[in-house]
Chains A and B, each alone.
Chain A
Amino acid sequence: MTQQQNVLDLKGLRVDRGGVPVLDIPSFSLSENEFVSLIGPNGAGKSTLLLSLLGLIKRSSGTVSYRGRQIANSADWLKVRRSIAMVLQEPLLFDATVFDNVASGLKIRGMGRGEIKSRVTSYLERFRLADMAQRSARKLSGGEARRVSLARAFAVEPEVILFDEPFANLDPPTRQALTEDMDGIIRDRGIAAILVTHDQSEALRMSQRIVVMNGGRIVQEGTPAAVMNHPVNEFVANFVGMETILEGEVVDNRDQRMTVRVAGSEIDTVGEAQLGAFVYCCIRPENVTVSLGHSEEKSSARNHFAGRVVGIATMGPFLELRLDCGFPLTAYVTRESFAELALFEGKEIFASFKATSVHVIGRRAA
């Protein structure tokens, strides 16, 4: 990727706290229109990374460049902060009306009153806040307050937006609604975004790239499927979970049943998505059955694939089989089954799983 395509570039970043390094990132970048999810345990340095990109934390070393121009002084930082919005975990609203909160970033920029009014009104509508414009921000529910903080961030029409777990501690329906609002605007306006999240499906649904952090370092980055299916080490594997994540495209859908094409194979699933939609099929290894014959008996599993064992790992009381069925698949089998089937690496097998055990998540086209 050339320098011109990157919105943000970070080089040799180190942040120390009390002499202890808390962040050590040789390089990180965000390109135009890109959506990156940052995942990792608490204390991994995710928030610190976001703050570093805005120059809001003291760096021991490292440079940040915005659109290829290195940020050198506080005037540069101010300019950058006026192009990048940030939504923190707490809504952090001002003790003022909802309208004034959404207007705050515009007032800071010295925008005229008339312009502020029309801009704020349109963002209040967009975030379904129009009827509470004159309400005090102190009287809002948790979900409403988050919506105001999102509207405030988007109202400045940033080129980049950073989210630090903006939906933590929200109930699932509210979370879903907010995620959709946010995702819609980001796509409409082509905003580049970084999302810190603990929610794996949120990361899958929205991002083109996932960055896994631990102990102040980036341990892995890549497309969601790459990170989920090929974790570089045990930490990442444990953190992202063991599910197989397959990129596919909906090729048929009727009566809440869908067929998803994955690497030339077709997987039966349940759920609804538009024809031609890009999705992930997530399959938990405990839901995959391994057998030697194709159809020796009738079963309710809709998906059968011929494949080969390509890897075997011991997982305590059971074994993890990595299968190649034209697409990667992971299955758990007990030691007993393993012995009965006389499995070994390279053995031809059949893998089957039910349409209902495939979890389908929408995704952005790569």
Chain B
Amino acid sequence: MDVILEGILKAAQLLASLDSEVLGIAWLSLKVSGLATLFSLVIGISAGTLVALTSFPGKKILVSVVNTGMGLPPVVVGLFVSIMLWRNGPLGYLELLYTPTAIVIAQTVIATPIVMGITIGAMQNLPANLRLQILALGATRKQMVMMLVREARLPLMAGVMAGFGGVISEVGASIMVGGNVRGYTRVLTTATVMETGRGNFDIAIALSVILLLFCFAVNYILTYIQQRERPR
């Protein structure tokens, strides 16, 4: 029990004193995962909408692949991205391995299927005739797609939450492609793993509290928007 209590006290001290290293790690986590979520939204919503609104042979297989991808193990992604970015790998010339950019790439790969899968589901849940009604109102194809995305905005926000929640708490890929380099690629999760391994529970707890706060804040904001948007 002492370990935990002491740890919590120390963590509170670290947080209260705004320890610059801890803040740096937190800021990098937010930046990296935020960017990855943003990219995955752009790719996932576009691709998901495209898949949901068109029919082509193999659509069912593709949707199943995407749904499987929603539970893609981060270590597998980490391995795959590492191979791609390895010095002798296909993208080795970019020299991105063990950089924050590499983490963004890996996390985008993790979050995109989540956002895409939720987008496909959300678009397919809209009434089948809604597309016809929108076109009958005189909409162009582009206007129709925008209006459909707007109609699906509440479930799409769930996609944002799931995507961000997935990548900010992910550790396997970040450690593999980022390398947990101090002051450069060290994010909340990789730092927590390392400090726990070293027995520095106080720092680990402080980092975890920040991580939890991030997750809570993002979800709170999105829930707030959803509740406000919900019909009175």
Contact = CB atoms under 8 A, between A and B. Distances in A.
Interface of A: 51, 54, 56, 78, 81-82, 84-86, 88, 90, 92, 94-95, 104-105, 108-109, 135-139, 152, 156
A109 B138 CA distance: 7
B127 interface: yes
Nearest to A104: B137
Contacts of A56: 132, 135-136
B231 interface: yes
Contacts, number: 56
30 contacts: A54-B136, A56-B132, A56-B135, A56-B136, A81-B135, A81-B137, A81-B138, A82-B138, A85-B136, A85-B137, A86-B132, A88-B129, A90-B129, A92-B127, A92-B129, A92-B130, A94-B150, A95-B153, A95-B231, A104-B147, A105-B137, A105-B138, A108-B139, A108-B143, A135-B232, A137-B231, A139-B231, A139-B232, A152-B137, A156-B138
Contacts of B150: 94-95
A152 B62 CA distance: 37
Nearest to A84: B136
Main secondary structure, interface of B, reads: helix
Contacts of A109: 138
A78 to B, nearest CB: 6
B137 A156 contact: yes
Given A88-B129, A88-B133, A92-B133, A138 B231 contact: yes
A95 B125 CA distance: 14
Interface residues of B, number: 19
A92 B134 CA distance: 9
Given A88-B129, A138-B231, A94 B147 contact: yes
Given A90-B127, A92-B127, A136-B232, A108 B137 contact: yes
A155 to B, nearest CB: 10
A86 B136 contact: yes
Interface string B63-101: 000000000000000000000000000000000000000
Nearest to B140: A78
Contacts of A54: 135-136
B127 A51 contact: no
